[in-house]
Amino acid sequence: MIDRGFIAQLRGYGLTTAEIHYYRPDAPSLLQLFVWQEYDLAPDFPVLFDFLDHWRREIEAALHSVRIAHEGLIRPTEWNAVDGVISIQ
């Protein structure tokens, strides 16, 4: 069985991490943190925005801010040809 995350990476998805800061209704003076990770497509982030839409509809906590980090894990290799000889004594 092939991993779902690997298939997503082959389709151009990269690992997206969102740091979500929010206020709980029972403690509005405290800023809370939730970390979310999923494979998503940059720069539009449809999976993340679907999650945030769900948050706004279903969760009573008010969003303060969202920080996003994204990394495409599968990409062409970075290879440079070196012309020369290096002697190590």
- pLDDT tens digits for range 46-62: 999 999 999 999 999 99
Confirm whether 87 is domain-assigned: no
Measured between alpha carbons, how far is 70 from 77 in angstroms, rounded to an integer?
Answer: 18
pLDDT digits (tens, 9 = 90+) for 20-34: 999 999 999 999 999
Confirm whether 86 is domain-assigned: no
Range of the domain at 11: 4-71
Confirm whether 30 is domain-assigned: yes
What's the predicted TM-score (pTM) here? 0.76
More confident residue, 32 or 75: 32
Nearest to 70 by CA among 48, 42, 51: 42
State the total domains in the chain: 1
Confirm whether 84 is domain-assigned: no
Q: How many helices (H) and strands (E) does the chain have?
A: 2, 3
Confirm whether 27 is domain-assigned: yes
Nearest to 58 by CA among 46, 50, 66, 68: 50
Confirm whether 20 is domain-assigned: yes
